[in-house]
Amino acid sequence: MKEMKRREFLKAGAATVVVASTCLCGLNGCATFTKVGDTVAVRPEALTRKDDEYLIDLSKEPVLNQVGGAVKIKNEAIPQGIMVAHTGENAYQVVSLACTHRGVEVEYDHKNCRFVCSSLGSSKFSLDGGLLRGPAKKPLKPFQATIQNGILSIKMTSG
């Protein structure tokens, strides 16, 4: 009887190891380990900077032409990055890219109208960056975005 329990324990342990090794997909790019999500970077040819604004030429960034599309901007000037999401007809939302828990990149969840941390913690944020669910304790930083003549202008001061 005691032997059976030991075997069951070992079996369960083996199952845990399998789950854990599946979870160690940092080797395959798991965001929890890499801190990098699946959102594509904005095409360089679509992006220009003018003073305190980033300008995205939407004719050169097809991902943002579709409602539900999202890109990230991450460069030397903004190493923490920002997330740009096309949330509705002529509606775009821009928030800081790094989850306020441990800095893993957030993703745009169009189906549920929110941003979700791509780590296992899965903190959730509203479209204006408000905290919906932790473990994060602080909101994402929102940025003001306006569109005119096919150009999306993002003010890098908090919106």
Task: Determine, following the binding rule CB under 6 A, whether residue 135 of this chain makes contact with ligand FES.
Answer: yes
Choose between 31 and 152: whose C-beta lies nearer to ligand FES: 31
Task: Determine, following the binding rule CB under 6 A, whether residue 121 of this chain makes contact with ligand FES.
Answer: yes
With CB under 6 A as the contact rule, the residue among 43, 49, 60, 102 that binds ligand FES is: 102
With CB under 6 A as the contact rule, the residue among 117, 127, 140, 152 that binds ligand FES is: 117
In whole angstroms, what is the distance from residue 14 CA to residue 157 CA? 51
Strands 124-125 and 131-133 come out as: antiparallel
With CB under 6 A as the contact rule, the residue among 81, 115, 123, 142 that binds ligand FES is: 123
Task: Determine, following the binding rule CB under 6 A, whether residue 83 of this chain makes contact with ligand FES.
Answer: no
Buried b (16+ CB within 10 A) or exposed e, 69-84: bbbbbbeeeeeebbbb
Choose between 93 and 119: whose C-beta lies nearer to ligand FES: 119
Task: Determine, following the binding rule CB under 6 A, whether residue 136 of this chain makes contact with ligand FES.
Answer: yes
With CB under 6 A as the contact rule, the residue among 30, 47, 56, 99 that binds ligand FES is: 99
Residues across the chain: 159
Choose between 86 and 124: whose C-beta lies nearer to ligand FES: 124
In whole angstroms, what is the distance from residue 109 CA to residue 35 CA? 17
Burial class (CB in 10 A: 0-12, 13-18, 19+), 32: middle
Residue 117 CB, shortest distance to ligand FES, in Å, is 3
Phi and psi at 62, nearest 5°, equal -60, -30
- The amino acid sitting at 52 is D
Let me know: does 59 contact 45? Beta carbons within 8 Å.
Answer: no
Residue 20 CB, shortest distance to ligand FES, in Å, is 18
Give residues in contact with ligand FES (CB under 6 A).
Answer: 99, 101-102, 104, 117, 119, 121-123, 135-136
